[in-house]
Structures are given as structure tokens and as C-alpha cells.
Structure 1
């Protein structure tokens, strides 16, 4: 990864505003697009092969199955497991999950995450059978979860891709570089003190203190790095930088080939880990963790250098493209979800998310 630039203000003025405060102009714009294109759920037609277009309530495993078929060498192996509706044998459940992992060629550590969810909800690194059993015990009964091979690369990025129907090729609109926050021990300060003293973490301690509650009084050795967040999600504490200027023709060509091999995929974001930025620019040595559809966001807007006007402008352009693609696909015969079906999917996701294990 390019070195993280820490000069200047570590946060933008709006970076951790409430969703309502930040998104209200974008929501009004989306309402106008619904009227203009005569379709409240038109975005669900943006990716006809994804459940609900990937807007809300979509299955990660169903979309990863499509990605695996399109680019098996670029997708991190995974297995989906359904938790019993009335679990009564914790040991047996953990053994069955481990057997499913083994059958899929997975071993510890693995990344565990809900099949249904967004913004890093419920994502954890599971290192051994004990952590596996604890994760399962804290997961909602009757829900599906995904175990995925842990990709040890430190570098992670969000690659936002769009191809408008009728065009032969697509383009990368946004590249977000994701940096995981660290503090470094001095041999004297507790982890709590290190977090509170950090120029960035100390301004958003609510993102880090709860997840490290069990070791806040621990004193790391001098120079010892302590990673504060595992999930590559901005809302969970990762640091985002705009890397769109680093996109190359070779990188665009590779992601375009993968996207076109996924049936009826026109709009969304690849979340990837990679070995080296130069190799990613060459379209090589990267692993896809997830493919997000119509509900994906151009996350470069959370770069601390972006102004509020720039961030909202970019997201409005994203929504304009989303609705235009949805309309083009509707004209091709893809209707998307009905309002009732969309409402049920949204309600199920919102009902499950609060019950997922805390993200670490």
C-alpha cells in the first residue's frame, strides 16, 4: 500500500456525522430519481442475477457463487452454513460447522460473517474451535453465516465498477484504499491511554474502546503494534483514502473481464485484498472477498480530504447511474423486486443485524 498520509487533520468535518445528517440531500435526490424514472424499486433491476439487485437483503454466498463461477482463481474460498432454528447441541453444531469448513478446504483461521448484512456487521476472525463455538453461540438461530478463507494480505481496497447496458466495456469509477488503524506501545501506557492519545482514534474512541474492553488495562511493550480494527469497514474504524488516481488500464481491463463474466452484473463494488499496489494496478495478485451490488457505495468519499460538497456530489452521480442502469435493464425486460418483496427483505436484514456478534 502507498504509505498512509497522516499529515493534516485526521478526520473530515463530516466523516462521522449521523446517517440522517449526512445523507438527507442524497435521499431527496433519490426520491426525485424515483419520480423521474417511475420506479421506487428500480435499483433492484440494476443487477438482475443478484437477489434484489444487491440493494438490500442480498445473500453474500449467492453472489459469491456467481463470482466463483466467473473468476475462481480470484475469489477467496468460502462455505455457507445455516444455524439451526432451535440449536440444542452447541458442541455438535460447532463440530458440524468445522466439518463443513474442512469439506470446503478451509482451516483456521477463517473469517466468519453473516450471509445477510452490510457495513462490516458481525465480521470476526475465528482462530480456533473455541472461537468458532463462541461465534456460533452468539449468532441468531435460523440465520445463515459464511466462513471464508482468511486472506493474510494487509492491503485492502474497494473497487467500484459500472458498465452501462449497451456498452461493451465497463469502467472503475472509484478506488478506495483501506488502512487498518494501529497504535504502538511505549512500555508505559495502557491500551486505553494509547487509544485516547492517538490523533485519530482519540477522536472516535467509541469505535475502539468497546471491542478492546477486555484488555484496555494491558500495557504493550515499547514499539509493539496493536491493531484496533479487523473489518475493512469505515463505520467499524478502518481508515479510507481515495486511490482513484491509481487506477490503470490493465486494472480496469481485468476487473471488467471478471464483471462481464458474472451474469447480468452492471453496478457494484469488489472488496479485495492484494499483495502490492503495483500488482493490483497490473490486474494481478488480488483476492475478492465480496461483491456488492446496487447497495454498494463509492467509499472514497470518506477520505478525510474530501469536502462535504464533493462527497455528496459523487454519491448523487452514483445514484444517477444506478437508476439509469435500472431503467435500461427494465427496458430489457428485467423488472426487479416489487415493493412488498423489497420491504420484506429490508425488514429481515434490519431485524437480524442487531443480533449478530459484535464486530472485532
Structure 2
């Protein structure tokens, strides 16, 4: 297989059309996966068995888990690689409490504000100034737990999928995916909306981009000026994903393994990072962890436009199969899955929370 590109996307790559299934309705794409889950649940006699794969995390990270509670479990080795953060529950005196919490952790603006329970970048806001911070806090319903995290200075972002069976001394990286933020480049003549409609990819995804750019759609970008279309590196929010499997090296694997083994009983999930360069990442250097996701996360290289539908399903079946296999080993060691109906309750609660969050940046 030819080496996949590791540099930022060229203009032609950025405007490439979608794959045949990238934005299928979720119920269509995930129906075969749900069927596979049911088959595995019957075979292992427990539909919630994967939640035991990371038994110290609520539902194993399948749904409803707290982002900060996972990061809080990190030991000294892992903590050094996690971008500093603090937490806040919205309520009275949000502004002063947020500044006090940030000061206590040595944090300063710019800061990333995100819900502590969430997924797919929903509600994530970037605050560069105090007024933007106050506006972000006010946009959330009262009593919403939030994470305030230092903005990582590195430009590039990736998702690294990690798996370690309980009876294995070392884990492995099963997927590495680069996340590119799509941009528009002004020509001094066309509006933002016109530029969106001219781009072969963005013209197909206008409902993703136009709501968050509604105040700039009629703006004419000066010649050469660029505009990031999204802030969060999430595919469903418009980021472009590229398979970086060829950049999985022994050095990177060893570094990720050392970090994840410093989180008690963590065996399966995706680590989202920002990094300086692909060369440094291959060496296992100069990256910081944004967040750590459990059994509800995906090996997101399936959303690379070059991935075939067959390859995507093979990847999904392998990873969900691993959650059952690891869960079975943890169950044999005395850990208990969360239970099907408890998981359903948390999933419904998470859906309600997601619907209450503001639009992400």
C-alpha cells in the first residue's frame, strides 16, 4: 500500500468529494453494526459486556461518562501528556468562579469550554477573551458540568485508537487518523457563501457549515485570507479525516502504551491529541492529549474518503468484537458490566443533554 500523505491537505485534496457513505443517515450505516452487537451479546450472554472493558469508567465510556473523570484517573506519567484543565458547573457567579478555577490551575486565556458529558464536539466553544468566556458559559443551561481546558498550541490534530487485552503486557495502536480543519481562501470578489458553494466538498455539506458561519456568509474575504470552517476536529461537524496508519511506529506505540497503562484498567478507546508535526508524532514526541474516549469511540479512519464500505465495516466489526472479548476477560476477573437498562438510561440522559448545548465553534 502506498504511503498516505502526512502533510496538511493540498487544495485539491481539501476539495475532494465525499466517499459513497460518509454522510449516510446514522440509522442506515449503523444498522449492521447494531445487528453484530446483538449477535455478540447473545453469544456472550450479556449485551452490556463491553462496558466492563474499561470497568472504572461509567459504562466503560460507551455513553454518559464524564470526560474529566477519565482524565482525573491519570497517574503522573499520563498527566504530563494531558492538556491542563479544570471543571465548573454552571450556576450563580459563573464568570468569577471560572476565573478563580482557572487561576487555581494556572490556566489563562485562550481557553476551550466544553461539556463534561458529551460527544462529537457538541457544545465545544473557544474563548479568546474574558467576554467570549462569559458568553460561552452563559450559553449553557444552568447546572451543566463543564471542562475548561488550555488551548493546545499545536496546529494539527489526530485520533489514536489504543487496545490492550488484560492478559497482555503491552497494548497496540489499531488506528491513527489525522483530522484536518477545512478552510476557505478569499479571492477579494466572492462572499463566504459563494466560496462554500464553489467548493466540490463544502457545497455538499452546506447544512454543516452555514449555521455557524451565518454572520459571515455575505462577507467578502480579502485576497489570500483564510477562514477556518470549524474549530472542533469532528467528522460530523465538518472536519476532514485522513488515514495515518503508515505513521504508526514502535516509538509512538510505546509512548501511548506507557501513557494508557498509567490509567487504571483502561483497555480500549481513542485518544484525541494535538501535535506539532507528523514527524514528531512518529517519534512519540511533542503532542498533548485533549481527551480520552472509551468503548463508545470509533477508529475514525473509516471516515477517510478513500476507505471503502467493506473496509469500514470490517474495522467496526473488529473493534466492537474486541470490546466483547476484553469485557469477557474483565468479567472473568470479577468486574461487572453496567447492565443494559442502566446504559439505556444514561444514553437517553446524554441525548437530552446534547440537545440543550449551544452550537459548537
**What is the distance in 2 between the residues matched to 1:322 and 1:344?**
21
- 1:25 counterpart = 2:12: no
Q: Which runs of 4+ in 1 moved over 4 A?
A: none
Q: 1:9 to 1:131 in 2, by over 3 A?
A: closer
Equivalent residue, structure 2, for 1:78: 85
Aligned-residue offset at 1:346: 1.3
**What is the distance in 1 between the residues matched to 2:16 and 2:182?**
15
SS in 2 for 1:314: helix
| Superposed CA offset, 1:175-202 (max 9, x none) | 0000000010000111111111112111
Equivalent residue, structure 1, for 2:168: 167
What's the TM-score once normalised by structure 2's chain length? 0.95
Counterpart contact for 1:70–1:262, Cα < 8 Å: no
SS in 1 for 2:140: coil
SS in 1 for 2:212: helix
| Superposed CA offset, 1:301-350 (max 9, x none) | 00000111111111011100011001110011010212332222112111
Equivalences for residues 236-255 of structure 1 within 5 A: 236-255=237-256
Aligned-residue offset at 1:52: 1.7
- 1:12 counterpart = 2:19: yes
Q: 1:356 to 1:68 in 2, by over 3 A?
A: farther
- Higher mean C-alpha deviation, range 139-148 or range 3-12: 3-12
**What is the distance in 1 between the residues matched to 2:45 and 2:76?**
34
Counterpart contact for 2:37–2:47, Cα < 8 Å: no
Aligned-residue offset at 1:3: 3.3
Counterpart contact for 1:187–1:222, Cα < 8 Å: yes
| Superposed CA offset, 1:72-103 (max 9, x none) | 2210000010113xx5xxxx321211211111
Equivalences for residues 199-278 of structure 1 within 5 A: 199-278=200-279
Aligned-residue offset at 1:68: 5.7
Aligned-residue offset at 1:153: 1.3
Stretches of structure 1 that go unaligned for 5 or more consecutive residues are: none
Counterpart contact for 1:63–1:291, Cα < 8 Å: yes
SS in 1 for 2:173: strand
Counterpart contact for 2:78–2:260, Cα < 8 Å: no
Aligned-residue offset at 1:69: 4.1
Counterpart contact for 1:67–1:291, Cα < 8 Å: no
**What is the distance in 2 between the residues matched to 1:113 and 1:73?**
21
Aligned-residue offset at 1:238: 0.4
Counterpart contact for 1:161–1:172, Cα < 8 Å: yes
**What is the distance in 2 between the residues matched to 1:336 and 1:21?**
28
- Higher mean C-alpha deviation, range 183-192 or range 100-109: 100-109
- 1:93 counterpart = 2:94: yes
**What is the distance in 2 between the residues matched to 1:268 and 1:4?**
26
**What is the distance in 2 between the residues matched to 1:48 and 1:58?**
12
SS in 2 for 1:120: coil
**What is the distance in 2 between the residues matched to 1:28 and 1:257?**
35
Aligned-residue offset at 1:10: 2.5
